[in-house]
Amino acid sequence: DAGVTQSPTHLIKTRGQQVTLRCSPKSGHDTVSWYQQALGQGPQFIFQYYEEEERQRGNFPDRFSGHQFPNYSSELNVNALLLGDSALYLCASSLENEQYFGPGTRLTVT
Amino acid sequence: GENVEQHPSTLSVQEGDSAVIKCTYSDSASNYFPWYKQELGKGPQLIIDIRSNVGEKKDQRIAVTLNKTAKHFSLHITETQPEDSAVYFCAASRVTSYDKVIFGPGTSLSVIP
């Protein structure tokens, strides 16, 4: 079992650009959550997808959007990037309450 | 809003000693409390969790305790080893409809050989 995988590993974007991050959940998991982790802080919940619908959303602006595909994989899209969007973006998959995290995508906005 | 506080922010112990990390939560409806270990360059790894219907849970050198009345929960690591060095996060959520998980700010644990 490959566990949760994320791509790309690292990404550098310019302010104002758009970015798409990808996540493949652990085998058998149907729920995907996305988190933003700034340096030296705990992960902050962005949103959660289940059955291709956004089920829960944290306190993030509409510039952050997502999608879940029929195979349960997911994408996180961020539009109009700001310097403050620089962070580690984590994907977590779950079947019930236990969440398993991927290694994250390090996004740097310059 | 929901909030999880965590102390201390940094902790340094000698190998073989015990380490204790304490957390408090604000949402009285929270009833699931996972703990995560995050090593450099990796995502958080679930190491142990506890639900509100129990007060303590052990797994080898790791134990968690929960006081729902005081809204406190703690992680205890005994016989610490250098490989325990990492950042530890406590978290809280509700076991209903796959509620979002609220994380504490983390504790950086260093185990000195």
Give the tens place of pLDDT for each residue, A9-63: 999 999 999 999 999 999 989 999 999 999 989 999 999 999 999 988 999 999 9
Mutate to test the interface with B, among A5, A21, A97 (most CBs of B within 10 A): A97
Can you read off the two tokens belonging to residue B111? 């185990």
Binning pLDDT at 50, 70 and 90, where does residue B53 land? confident
In single-letter form, the type of residue at position B57 comes to K
pLDDT of residue B12: 98
The three-state secondary structure class of B82 is: helix
Give the tens place of pLDDT for each residue, B15-27: 999 999 999 999 9
Cα–Cα distance for residue pair A105/A25, rounded to 1 Å: 14
Can you read off the two tokens belonging to residue A62? 């509409």
- Residues from A contacting B (CB-CB < 8 Å) are 4, 31, 33, 35, 40-45, 48, 50, 55-56, 58-59, 90, 92, 94, 96-104
Cα–Cα distance for residue pair B100/A24, rounded to 1 Å: 19
Binning pLDDT at 50, 70 and 90, where does residue A1 land? low
Binning pLDDT at 50, 70 and 90, where does residue B83 land? very high
Give the tens place of pLDDT for each residue, A60-73: 999 999 999 999 99
pLDDT of residue B1: 61
Q: Which residues of A touch B98 (CB under 8 A)?
A: 31, 48, 50, 55-56, 94, 96-97
